[in-house]
Structure 1
Amino acid sequence: MTAGVGTPYWTAPEILEGKRYTEQADLYSFGVVLSELDTCKLPFHDAFTSDGKKLKPVQILADVMAGMLRPSFSNECPQRIRRIGVACCQQDPSRRPSAAQVVSMLTETD
């Protein structure tokens, strides 16, 4: 697939870069949604420059594409949800879990 669809902050880096992408891009978006549900805030709400200014959207997207910025999770986030979210938001699509693996991770007992 190569169509540029989606909402930028929830869009996988490979799509932002205009590369071919697979279903793994959806897993990235799922990870961003987990971050959003955890923090109750928009993705990258806590992205600031070194001098404390809020990052501009274009810089956020550039940093996401460069692998320098990922969605954040709160300290109160359940460990399992954090683990899944971080795995889904890996820069390299081949390092993201499959949908079946995410289901397994969500349903495993502690």
Structure 2
Amino acid sequence: MHRADETGKLERAKSRRLKEVGRIRDLLARKELTLAQIDEDYRLPRGTAGNAVHEPHVAGERAIAAALGRRPEHLWFSRYHADGTRKSPQPAENYRYARRQTPADGMSCGAAA
């Protein structure tokens, strides 16, 4: 019974995250902004804003929020408290992958042969 409750909780968290990402992407599209453009405009390494949409990254979140004329806590409810302070540590469900696969897991880290 407990395991079923945990699974339901994780599914709800995943659903909320997907809605959050969709809402942010919609706001970007309405302003005709691209994540690559945000990286360039805010002098971030390529891919930072794209990663920040899905996984916590303070600089990327701030750049996206600034480009949209909003505050980060108004875009990422899962990453910030209502008063605007950042959740620390971030909840595990805020990451797409709880743990990266390593060679010890039997996964190749290099290109496929």
TM-score bucket (shorter structure): 0.3 to 0.5
More helix by share: 2
Structure showing greater radius of gyration is 2
- Larger RCO, structure (CA 8 Å, separation 6 or more): 1
Give the structure-1-normalised TM-score: 0.35
Give the structure-2-normalised TM-score: 0.35
